[in-house]
Amino acid sequence: MKGWMLSLALACAATTVQAADVAATGMQVASVQVARKGYSLQVERQGQGPVAVVFESGFGQGAGVWKDTIANLGAQCTCIAYARAGLGKSGTDGAPKTIEQHVQDLGAVIDALAPDQKIVLVGHSYGGLLATEFARQHPQRLLGLVLVDPATMGQRHDSMRADRERVLADDKALLAMLPPNMAEDYKLLIAQLDNPAAETPRSLPDLPVALLTSTQVAAEPFVFEETAQGKALWKREHADLFAGVSRGIHQYYATGHNIHRENPKAVAEAIRFVTAASAGN
C-alpha cells in the first residue's frame, strides 16, 4: 500500500509548493479560497481551455507538483489544483482528516471551481486513492479518470501479508520523520487501511480511465514498495484495479513513484486520452 509514501521524504523537507512555483508554467494563475467548516482550501486555477482538469496530489504535497504537467497541457484545459487541509496556504481545524473527509473536500473544490461541467480527475499516489473513491461515489461528475501510480484501499493488507515486519518498520521510520500534524494524518490513514473493510473489492465506474504504473526497483529501497517483491505486488494490484475497465489504457513506466515529475508529458497525454475517449459517449 505504501507506494504513495515514496514521495514522503521530499514532502517532509518541503511539504508543498507555493503559488509562485505554479505560476512558472507561464499561464495566468488565479488563487481561490474554498470555504469548509472551520478552515478553507487554497486552490490554483490556470488556463481558459474548454476541458476542466482537477488534480489531486500525493500525501503531503500541494498544487505545485503538477506544474510541468500543466505546462504540457498548455491552453487546452482549465487546470485546477489545490492543497489539502493543513498544507500550503490551506487552513486546518487542527484535526486529522479521514479518507471520506478528504473526498468531501475534493467535491467542494470541484463544485466551487467547475460547478456546471464534468471534469477530468487526476490523482497521484494517495491522491489517486481519493480520486478513485470520488469516482465511485460521483461518476456523473466526471468525463474520465487519470490515476498516476495510485494507492488502493487493499494494498496495505497485501503488503502486510507479504512482509509484515518490513511494513511495520517502514511505519516506524516514517512516523519519526514526519512533522506532528502529518504524523497524525498518517496514523489515522493506516488505521483506516488496516480495517478489514478496506480489503473489500471495489470496481471502477464505467468511465474512460488511464492508469500509469511505475516499475523501477530501487537500488537501496526506502520502503517495501521499492523492493523487487514490493514492486511486483504493486504491479499486480494495479492490474487488478484496471481489470474491470472497459474504456481505458494501462501503461507502465520505468520511473520512480513520481511519474508526473519524471515524465510529465506522459500524464498530459493520458489526460488527452481520457478527454478524447469521453467525447465518444
What residue segments make up the domains of the chain, in order of their start? 2-279
In terms of DSSP bridges, do strands 119-124 and 77-82 run parallel, antiparallel, or are they unpaired? unpaired
Query: Given this model, what pLDDT does residue 10 score?
Result: 41
β-partners of residue 107 are: none
- Cα dist from 158 to 208, 239, 248, whole Å: 27, 14, 25
Strand segments (E) across the chain:
29-36, 39-46, 51-56, 77-82, 119-124, 142-148, 209-214, 248-253
pLDDT at 223 over 60: yes
Reported as a single tens digit per residue, the pLDDT across 245-257 is 999 999 999 999 9
**104 — phi, psi (to 5°)?**
-65, -40
Q: Which of 3-17, 19-33, 89-103 has the highest mean pLDDT?
A: 89-103
What percentage of the chain reaches a pLDDT higher than 70? 90
> Residue 28's pLDDT band (boundaries 50, 70, 90)?
confident
Res. 75 pLDDT band, cuts 50 70 90: confident
Q: Per DSSP, which regions of 57-181 are E strands?
A: 77-82, 119-124, 142-148
Determine if residue 94 is left, alpha or beta; phi over 0 gives left, psi from -120 to 50 gives alpha, anything else beta. Answer: left
79 near 66, Cβ under 8 Å?
Answer: yes
Q: Does pLDDT of 57 surpass 70? A: yes
Are 156 and 178 in contact by the 8 Å Cβ rule? The answer is no
The pTM for the full model equals: 0.91
What is the rounded average pLDDT of the residues 106-133?
Answer: 97
Domain 2-279: homologous superfamily in CATH: Alpha/Beta hydrolase fold, catalytic domain (3.40.50.1820)
CA nearest to 51, candidates 132, 137, 143: 143
Asked if pLDDT for residue 280 goes beyond 90, the answer is no
Q: Tell me the pLDDT tens digit for each residue of 138-181.
A: 999 999 999 999 999 999 999 999 999 999 999 999 999 999 98
Q: Which of 2-6, 122-126, 146-150, 248-252 has the lowest mean pLDDT?
A: 2-6
Mean pLDDT of the chain: 90
Residue 78 phi/psi, 5-degree rounding, is -100, 115
